[in-house]
Structure 1
Amino acid sequence: MSQRQILSITTGRPTSDGAGVSLTRVFGGAAPERFDPFLMLDEFGSNDPDEYIAGFPPHPHRGFETITYMLEGRMRHEDHMGNVGLLESGGVQWMTAARGVIHSEMPEQQEGTMRGFQLWLNLPAHAKLGDPGYRDFAPTEIPQVVLPGGVQAKVIAGTLKVGDAEQQGIVQRPDTEPQLFDLHLPAGSTLSPLIPDGHRLLLYVYEGVLRVGDQAASKGQLVRMSEQGQVRLHSERGARLILLAGRPLGEPIVQYGPFVMNSREEIEQALRDFRDGALA
């Protein structure tokens, strides 16, 4: 069987968001169709409270889902629906903004390291104005498996298939069918996860060096793969990475800040709804 080809290897750019939280924007912004159905991936990480303590005060979203995966630290979520949740090290927050959510994400610590990821996952046109939803998952709820070669995997969304073995994640979503795995490859290990043909595949290395075919990607780099064939991951010295895969929606993407719709008219409606207090 043919191997997936590397389309690009890029490095995230430093930026800030919320009330001045320092982070790395792995992708997001220009040409979102390259990553469809994913809209944005941010990595945040610092042991300096000045770089995260102001957090993300109340702000709106419409038209997509946000997934926050915490490696280290504590973050409190509150939203207009009355949900309150504490995201702790190893936990996941999955929020479906749909027609509208107004929420805040604020650090629950004054010192120490805060590190993790936030992913934006698009919703199809028929679901963009559906009911919003929110769910916290404790670290103990997320399936973890040890694969041949000592590879460790946290299976957050979708189903991890390796050879004849498979492990279902804690979240399954229709339409985009996302796969979200945190993979730890020890030195000298190899992994060949099965990704459905036609699904977009992205690999973000957050520790170590990963080899994909005959090319290497190091810490802070994103590998964008073709949509057909197998993939073989190898690390000579060890690597940790986020694997993202999903079925592209192939729909128009129009984004204005925290609103992602299919047309400019829908964006203008979202802005009016937010201004008039009718977003959520």
Structure 2
Amino acid sequence: MSIRTLRQLIPARQVSDGAGVKIKRSLGLSQQLRLDPFLMLDCFGSDEASDYIAGFPPHPHRGFETVTYMLHGHMLHEDHMGNKGHLKSGGVQWMTAGRGIIHSEMPQQESGLMQGFQLWLNLPAAEKMKAAAYVDIAPEHIPQAALAGGGQVKVIAGRFQTDELTLEGAIRGLSTDPQFYDLHLLAGQQVTLQLPAAHNALLYVYEGSAELPAGQQPASAGVHHAAVLSQGDTVHIKALADTKAILLAGKPIGEPVAQYGPFVMNTPAEIEQAIRDYQAGQLTGDQPMQAIQI
């Protein structure tokens, strides 16, 4: 058994995106703050409508996947093919931009709390130009279970495994083998789980604080910090208070990354082509858009 230790702690920084939505960004603050295959991690959360009401008007993507996990609130996704998807509290949208998509994500509430995450997950070169598709996952279709000693886990993607529990997630079988868990732990609770040893992994705390192994002495990860973990096959987490955190892990792609805003390819020439395609109205081609409801 090889225990993963804390390698780097990235404090999230408040930035503005879309039409002025206030978010906290950890991964993606710079090109150096990526974790292959993860490009960006945003946490949004406010009960002030002015922080989110302008939303994300129509914008393009090419070459990667977006995962939106809505903890609280209601967003409407619309795309260039006329598809609509309602993302409500507890739900997930897993979108593959592939060759190209133009979409919007707009709040469907004028007050109250809106909270959640958006993750950008890279695609290998062989998949960057495939047809766009997305899956809407209703809250009741996200597997969840109680943990030994209290608390619970929701498994959005991959396989969650401890000595006492194995739980398959809603999304499986992708080339980067992403693992995406939402952990709710009680103060003082400890959990030890298995991960594929070669995957890159991080823990993002969005409520409370967590203790992680870190060499001679354990170290803590506070709220809105992304804790990047070393390689290993086992993760050990201790909640220092009632704690909520997402754990992400994925198989590294190991390819060059060229990014310009909403386009993520392998070379600058491919980025230039994406810009030309978008300007010419050919970003998405004639591809059909596949929409699946789970």
Q: Same fold (TM over 0.5)?
A: yes
Do the aligned partners of 2:199 and 2:251 also contact (CA within 8 Å) in 1?
A: yes
In the alignment, what sits opposite 2:208?
208
How far is the alpha carbon of 1:32 from its aligned partner? 5.1
TM-score when scaled to structure 2? 0.93
Aligned-CA RMSD value: 1.1
Percent identical among aligned pairs is: 53
| Letter aligned with residue 83 of structure 1 | N
Partner SS state of residue 193, structure 1: strand
How far is the alpha carbon of 1:188 from its aligned partner? 1.7
Is residue 273 of structure 2 the alignment partner of residue 269 of structure 1?
A: yes
TM-score when scaled to structure 1? 0.97
C-alpha separation in 1, matches of 2:86 and 2:245: 24
Runs of 5+ unmatched residues, structure 2: 285-294
Superposed, 1:160-239 pairs within 5 Å as: 160-163=160-163, 165-213=165-213, 214-239=218-243
Is residue 269 of structure 2 the alignment partner of residue 252 of structure 1?
A: no
How far is the alpha carbon of 1:146 from its aligned partner? 0.5
How far is the alpha carbon of 1:238 from its aligned partner? 1.8
How far is the alpha carbon of 1:151 from its aligned partner? 2.6
| Letter aligned with residue 111 of structure 2 | E
Partner SS state of residue 50, structure 2: helix
In the alignment, what sits opposite 2:26?
26
Do the aligned partners of 1:210 and 1:238 also contact (CA within 8 Å) in 2?
A: no
Do the aligned partners of 1:151 and 1:191 also contact (CA within 8 Å) in 2?
A: no
| Letter aligned with residue 72 of structure 2 | E
Do the aligned partners of 1:99 and 1:131 also contact (CA within 8 Å) in 2?
A: yes
Task: Name the CA shift for 1:159/1:229 in 2 (closer, same or farther; >3 Å).
Answer: closer
| Segments ≥4 residues shifted beyond 4 Å | none
In the alignment, what sits opposite 2:291?
none
Partner SS state of residue 82, structure 1: coil
Runs of 5+ unmatched residues, structure 1: none
| Letter aligned with residue 282 of structure 2 | A
C-alpha separation in 1, matches of 2:142 and 2:264: 28
Q: Deviations over 1:44-90 (max 9, x none)?
A: 11111111111000000000000000011000000012210110000
How far is the alpha carbon of 1:41 from its aligned partner? 0.4
Is residue 247 of structure 2 the alignment partner of residue 243 of structure 1?
A: yes
Do the aligned partners of 1:70 and 1:89 also contact (CA within 8 Å) in 2?
A: yes
Do the aligned partners of 1:207 and 1:219 also contact (CA within 8 Å) in 2?
A: yes
In the alignment, what sits opposite 1:154?
154
Superposed, 1:63-142 pairs within 5 Å as: 63-142=63-142
Do the aligned partners of 2:68 and 2:92 also contact (CA within 8 Å) in 1?
A: yes
Per mean C-alpha deviation after superposition, the further-off stretch among 249-258 and 219-228 is 219-228
C-alpha separation in 2, matches of 1:207 and 1:125: 36
C-alpha separation in 2, matches of 1:2 and 1:228: 5
How far is the alpha carbon of 1:147 from its aligned partner? 1.3
C-alpha separation in 2, matches of 1:122 and 1:161: 24
| Letter aligned with residue 8 of structure 1 | Q
Do the aligned partners of 2:18 and 2:56 also contact (CA within 8 Å) in 1?
A: yes
How far is the alpha carbon of 1:275 from its aligned partner? 0.2
C-alpha separation in 2, matches of 1:149 and 1:204: 21
Do the aligned partners of 2:192 and 2:235 also contact (CA within 8 Å) in 1?
A: yes
How far is the alpha carbon of 1:235 from its aligned partner? 1.1
How far is the alpha carbon of 1:2 from its aligned partner? 3.0
In the alignment, what sits opposite 2:289?
none
C-alpha separation in 2, matches of 1:98 and 1:115: 27
Do the aligned partners of 2:202 and 2:248 also contact (CA within 8 Å) in 1?
A: yes
